[in-house]
Amino acid sequence: MQRRPLLAALALVSLAAAAAPALAQSDWPTKPVRIISPFPAGGTSDVMARMIGAALSKELGQAFVIENVGGAGGVIGTQRALQAAPDGYTLIQTGVGQNAVAHGLNPKLAYDSTRDFIHISQVHSGPNVLVVHPDQPFKTFQELITWIRKNPGKMSYGYTHAASGHMAMELLKQVGGDKAHPLFIVGIPYRGGGPMMQDMLGGQIPMMFINQDVALPHVKAGKLRPLAVTSKARNPLYPDVPTVAEMGVPGYEALSWSGLSAIKGTPQPVVDKLEAAMKKIMASPEIVERMSSVGFVIPAQGAAPYSAFVRGELAKWAKVIQTGGIKAE
C-alpha cells in the first residue's frame, strides 16, 4: 500500500530536478558575466565591449566584466573563450578579424565561426577612410586612382597585417583596376596602428585606409585629406566624402565590425534573454547618440541577421585573402 505514495514522491523529485535547470536558466544571470574581448584595452573593439558591458549590467542587474585577451588578431582570446562552459557566464566579442579574416589566413583554424558560436547580435559597423597626406597632389579619389593606373608600383601605402585597413586596400587592388590598368600599389607593413599613423602624419607614407573614428581628429585638424569611405552609403561624419562605390567601383564595401556571441550549447532561454536585452540597449537614445557621434552605424539587431552577416563576411574575406596570396604572419 505504500508503493503508490513512494512512486508519487519519486515522480515529484524527478520533476523538481528537471525543473531546476530551466528555472536557473530563466533567472540568468545570477552572478557576474564575463565578456572576453580578444584585443588589448583602449582600441575600438575594447571601447565597444565596455559600452555594451555597462549597458547590459544596467539592463540585467549583474556585472558584465570585460576581460581583454589580445594576440594573433583576436584568435587567442577567441580560443580561450570557447574553452569555457557554455552556461551564459562567458560571452565573446566577435568581429571581422577573428571571425572572418582569420579563416582566410588559416583554413585550419581551431574554431569554426559559423558552427562554434551562437551569434547574439551585431554591435557596430563602420567604414575605413582612404586618406592621403596633405602634401600629396590628389584632391579626389578619381585623381588618385588615375595616377596609380598610369604609374604602377610607384605609389605606396601603410598597413598593419590583416587589419580592416589592409583588407580594404587588398579589395580595392583586386576590383578597382582592370586587365589593362591593374592597381599595382606597394604595401609598407607596420606592427601597429600607432607607428603607422605617426609616419602618415609625418609624410613618410602617402596614403592608407584607417577607421573613420581614428581618422576624424586628424582630418578636422587638416593633417589628413579624406578621399573616400568604404561603406556603401556615405558616413554622417564625412558627408562630403564619396564612397568608393560612388567613384566607379560598384559594390565595393569594406567594414570594420563587432558583435556579441555566446558559446555553442548555451541554453536557449539564456540566448533569448540576452538577445532581447541587446535589442533594447542598442535602440536606447544613449547608445544611438554615442555611436553616431563617432560615425558608427548600428546594424540590424538580433541573432538571425548577425549570423547571416558573419557567414557573408567570412566568405568574402577568405576569397580576397586567397586571391591576394596573403599569408598569416
For residues 266 and 121, membership in a common domain is answered with yes
Residue that has been written with the C-alpha cell 537614445 in this structure: 285
Mean pLDDT of 147-161: 94
**Rounded Cα distance, 236 and 295, in Å:** 6
For residue 9, being part of any structural domain is answered with no
For residues 187 and 261, membership in a common domain is answered with no
For residues 224 and 279, membership in a common domain is answered with no
**In the structure, what pLDDT confidence band is assigned to residue 329 with cuts at 50, 70 and 90?**
confident
For residues 134 and 212, membership in a common domain is answered with yes
For residues 70 and 216, membership in a common domain is answered with no
For residue 28, being part of any structural domain is answered with no
For residues 200 and 214, membership in a common domain is answered with yes
Domain of residue 175, CATH code:
3.40.190.10
pTM: 0.88
Domain of residue 302, CATH code:
3.40.190.150
For residues 114 and 139, membership in a common domain is answered with no
In this structure, how many other beta carbons lie within 10 angstroms of the beta carbon of residue 316?
Answer: 18
For residue 57, being part of any structural domain is answered with yes
Number of domains present in the structure of the chain = 2
User: What pLDDT does 1 receive?
Assistant: 46
For residues 185 and 164, membership in a common domain is answered with yes
For residues 96 and 69, membership in a common domain is answered with yes
Query: Domain range holding 87?
Result: 33-125+256-324
Q: pLDDT per residue over 290-312, tens digit each?
A: 999 999 999 999 999 999 999 99
